[in-house]
Amino acid sequence: MSARRQPKKTETLEIRLSHEEKQTFMARCRTDGLTASEAVRSLIAGRVSRSPKRRTGLGWTVAAALGAGLAVGAIAAPSLAQSASRAVHAPDDRATFQRLDRNGDGAISFAEFQSR
């Protein structure tokens, strides 16, 4: 009888983005003081921690989290263009983020974003 393998401590997830999407996402992460991994993990954690109204499987959950991340990136693009024109970010950027992050988890959920 063969012994069962222990699960890996970490896994990787590969996604495909256009060059422009990746650059915009990475710039937004730098603006927010996050690594890309931290941003994606936060999106996934927020999505996984919520109880779905109906069970549709992990594939849908991951796809929805990635879709939400891309949507946030697309929404963020105009503000990134504006931010790039400033050499130093306004001191109220952190305050704005904290105002939007109502539950204080360090990430802005779609619901928090909608309630702005």
Render 2-13 in DSSP notation, one character per residue. Answer: PPPPPPPS----
Q: Residues 66, 108, 76, 72: what is their CA dihedral angle, to the nearest 10 degrees?
A: 20
* Residue 81 pLDDT grade (very low, low, confident, very high; cuts 50, 70, 90): low
* Residue 87 pLDDT grade (very low, low, confident, very high; cuts 50, 70, 90): very low
Q: What percent of the chain has pLDDT over 70?
A: 66
Look at residue 99 in the predicted model and tell me its pLDDT.
81
Closest of 109, 112, 111 to residue 42, by C-alpha: 109
* Residue 105 pLDDT grade (very low, low, confident, very high; cuts 50, 70, 90): confident
Q: Residue 70: is its pLDDT beyond 60?
A: yes
Look at residue 85 in the predicted model and tell me its pLDDT.
52
> What are the extents of the domains in the chain?
19-87
- Give the global pTM: 0.40
Closest of 30, 97, 105, 38 to residue 69, by C-alpha: 38
